[in-house]
Amino acid sequence: MERYQLEDESSHLDEMPLMMSEEGFENDESDYHTLPRARVTYRRRGIEWLVCGGWKFLCTSCCDWLINVCRRKKELKARTVWLGCPEKCEEKYPRNSIKNQKYNIFTFIPGVLYEQFKFFLNLYFLVVSCSQFVPALKIGYLYTYWAPLGFVLAVTMIREAVDEFRRFQRDKEMNSQLYSKLTIRGKVQVKSSDIQVGDLIIVEKNQRIPSDMVFLRTSEKTGSCFIRTDQLDGETDWKLKVAVSCTQRLPALGDLFSINAYVYAQKPQLDIHGFEGTFTREDSDPPIHESLSIENTLWASTVVASGTVIGVVIYTGKETRSVMNTSNPKNKVGLLDLELNQLTKALFLALVALSVVMVTLQGFVGPWYRNFFRFLLLFSYIIPISLRVNLDMGKAAYGWMIMRDEHIPGTVVRTSTIPEELGRLVYLLTDKTGTLTQNEMIFKRLHLGTVSYGTDTMDEIQNHIINSYSQMFSQTSGNSTSSTPSRKSQSSTPKVRKSVSSRIHEAVKAIALCHNVTPVYESRAGVTGETEYAEVDQDFSDENRTYQASSPDEVALVQWTESVGLTLVNRDLTSMQLKTPGGQILTYSILQIFPFTSESKRMGIIVRDESTAEITFYMKGADVAMSSIVQYNDWLEEENRYSQAKLSIHDRTLKVAAVVESVEREMELLCLTGVEDQLQADVRPALEMLRNAGIKIWMLTGDKLETATCIAKSSHLVSRTQDIHIFRPVTNRGEAHLELNAFRRKHDCALVIAGDSLEVCLKYYEHELVELACQCPAVVCCRCSPTQKAHIVKLLQQHTGKRTCAIGDGGNDVSMIQAADCGIGIEGKEGKQASLAADFSITQFKHIGRLLMVHGRNSYKRSAALGQFVMHRGLIISTMQAVFSSVFYFASVPLYQGFLMVGYATIYTMFPVFSLVLDQDVKPEMALLYPELYKDLTKGRSLSFKTFLIWVLISIYQGGILMYGALVLFESEFVHVVAISFTALILTELLMVALTIRTWHWLMVVAEFLSLGCYVASLAFLNEYFGIGRVSFGAFLDVAFITTVTFLWKVSAITIVSCLPLYILKYLKRKLSPPSYSKLTS
């Protein structure tokens, strides 16, 4: 029967159309996991596969295999931990140290070298440089090849070493924090990294919990404490944790050693919201067993918010929840680098082809393969080594400019290798809490049906409260006999419309009583031996009172009642005390609490007023949950519509209802409150700008669905007119299928989906879901775990192939930031963990606009221009070499000797070419005013095979003109060819830089003249050295010849012929098809 049903269900699924792409797909589950990947792998096979990355794949797989053999993964096991006896552990557990480094002392040099030589470009240079050790192939001096290569490697190694050292220092700081460890002899100070499984650790208030522990006891009388988990899951509300009652009941701390007890804990897992274990005390009769759940645990990286806690360590180091939820940092490589790598492969093929042509034209005479290799080396300048040097220095320059920009103060560039990525982003994945919002709740509005109070009219409420309480107390003192009347016959009297004053009184009292907030007093004197009596007598002074609750909006409500005069001064498990504006204390007994759950979306409390013995049931909850419970009234409906229109004000509309009967029916609606979690400064314009720039924004948050939807609307992540499709919770394949079909029928609407539904859909319909979600203007994923966030980033990268950027501020965003192509961290309330792991860290969300529109744009455009220009510089000289060789009977003789070649790529042309990093096509103000300009960048048109081919043609044309011109014009001595052609070459390069530049900067002019000056000076001084000594054509040049008019006009003529046509073409192009931005600047 069972099998029949299953078949039946899948046949239903087959009937429904779920065809997303050309390929239909079968119904076998195993296919689902292979679908997307299979499509990627079958494309490349054969020779192309080997060239394009087969060898890299082979290398990496061998390395991975070796690594796996070296350190076999240890099986994670469940464990029994004896209290305070680490030596009783049978297993060896990992050290409790935090490690964020990529390398250690031994792997640093091999690791860095591997990262460098996995690029085709660098590998090619290594081979060329090594070939110079073979005498038959030796062409010039060794330094012409080894100096640039050595320089590149030195720069890279120094940069990596500095980054690595910074990481090491940050880790060391965390690992050397001191904690008190409890031993039989008393307290001992231990470093965080020396804590072992089984240790009893004491953690003070506001201290980070060093490892995963089971909570044994606390200094709080209630036997429970609050912890802040924002570094772990991004939720800012405090979590209530409960101590194991058996150990909490022990009279003194030292008694923990007099009992014989152990904790049994499950094996380490990823899930931060679940734990199973047992606590057993053996020496009592009978043995005590307590089951342990998530509320008895203290996870590492959380912070104690109240009291002092003592716990027994169960997981350390790599096995803690927080470490298991962070992924290893990968080395990020920019898209531009990959594109340039492709171009260098194309150049290499051209180089081989050219050499083959040369040898063929030679007629394969003599040792032709030796000549072939010599040609390869002669033309090796086609692929310029200086490309990497220039780009790396360029990246450093962009990083420096970003950090110096006073419009975005406090921005830090932590990964200097990928600033161009900022100009190519298509998807931005953002966290909500602390990134888009400030994480501070503020009470905004109180609505009483007929009258609504906003922030500006709160003083009226205050006056009403003061009056009503002073009247009340004057009455009770007047007739003190009737101070305890029987339950007021309020419910039996017909409902009269109460006065506004009494309604405000009731409403404020309800808000002050119906909550789960505890006031906490910081003892200023620090007296420890206070008796119970002294504590009651303690001054409930305002300056040292703070409120604690599991949700910040509850605190906002209680702080508001304090501001209008009714103050919560004391609370324990059974009673609550309020202070009136007149200073009297009202005491209420708590008879019953119905806690808030995410299902019921409401909480209730039954209290008894001690002065009147009146019992009241108060309840508050979300509007959706409460509307069915309260008595019908027209203004709730009205307010509902109003609150939807006014979403920017009410981020969270709480209904506070108070009642006379203690049942959840026919409750009397007292008031509605609006609490707002304020958005960060200028989040709306920033998101608006990013949307206009064609960036798709996804919000991934650990928060509740309602909150996430509200923030999405109020921050204009979803525009006012758009529909929102809330993806219903699904648990199996059939439901997922139906829900996906329902979603496909909607057009242009934002998607809101919860983490668990997302998991189900990804399991069965990964490709389909991603394809649909990518068409949405905005996507909100709520209730996401840290690993899910990273998983979504990876999915987007795999399916779309577009560049992703992740931005967040808490420890729970680290894995997402590291997985994205470009990670941005915000130094927020949730600590610095995210900003330290990120590639760029900023201080406010609004800075991201300038970072992408201005700096991203400039970095990409400049690097593209710089890269192509450096290639053009190499191509010109190779063309000249080719022309030279073909004229001189295909001799494999270098045209320019050692120092001229090194000088050409460095002293003579380096400054002007590098000054391209100061170029900008659009002023920053323009780029921010018209974010639409950013869309062009994502198409990658600044550096493509088309632009590259244009440069190749320019190079061939110029190289040919320069060499033929020099050959045609030279008269008596060959020497003059070298002098004329080289001088013309330098002039051409300087003019070409001037042609490429779009906006002049004074440094560019300086660079141009500096290079020209250097060249002229070297002509005068280095004539001995320049001699082509071995090719006996006499000295390189005679000063007499250089100073003649003939020399000058020949050089000028050649330069003009090589450059003028290009200037004319550029002018025509600007006139006939100007780029999009030139229309704006005119």
Name residue 90's amino acid: E
DSSP string, 730-781: --SHHHHHHHHHHHHH--SEEEEEEHHHHHHHHHHHHHHHHHHHHHSSEEEE
Closest CA to 16 of 773, 776, 768: 768
Phi, psi of 551 (to 5 degrees): -135, 135
Give catalytic status of residue 431 as yes or no: yes
DSSP state of 540: -
Closest CA to 371 of 353, 354, 358, 352: 358
Q: With both helix axes pointing from N to C terminus, report the angle between 2-15 and 733-745 in degrees, rounded to the nearest 10.
A: 10
Name residue 116's amino acid: Q
Check if the beta carbon of residue 59 is closer than 8 Å to that of residue 163. Answer: no
Name residue 1035's amino acid: A
Distance from C-alpha of 881 to C-alpha of 935, rounded to nearest angstrom: 41
Radius of gyration of the chain (CA): 37
Check if the beta carbon of residue 76 is closer than 8 Å to that of residue 314. Answer: no
The two three-digit tokens of residue 544, written as one number: 């040292």
The two three-digit tokens of residue 121, written as one number: 């470009």
DSSP string, 81-145: EETT-GGG-SS-PPP------S--TTTHHHHHHHHHHTSHHHHHHHHHHHHTTSGGG--S-THHH
**212, 233, 237, 431: which one is catalytic?**
431
Q: Which residue has the tokens 């400030």?
A: 438
List the Cα angle 487/488/489 in 5-degree steps.
110
Phi, psi of 475 (to 5 degrees): -65, -50
Closest CA to 100 of 826, 789, 811, 824: 811
Distance of CA 593 to the CA centre of its chain: 40
Going 52 to 58 to 61 to 62, the CA torsion angle's sign is negative
Distance from C-alpha of 411 to C-alpha of 404, rounded to nearest angstrom: 8
Contacts of residue 181, defined as CB under 8 A and 6 or more positions apart, other chains included, come to 187, 188, 189, 190, 195, 199, 200, 201, 202
Give catalytic residues, as residue numbers: 431
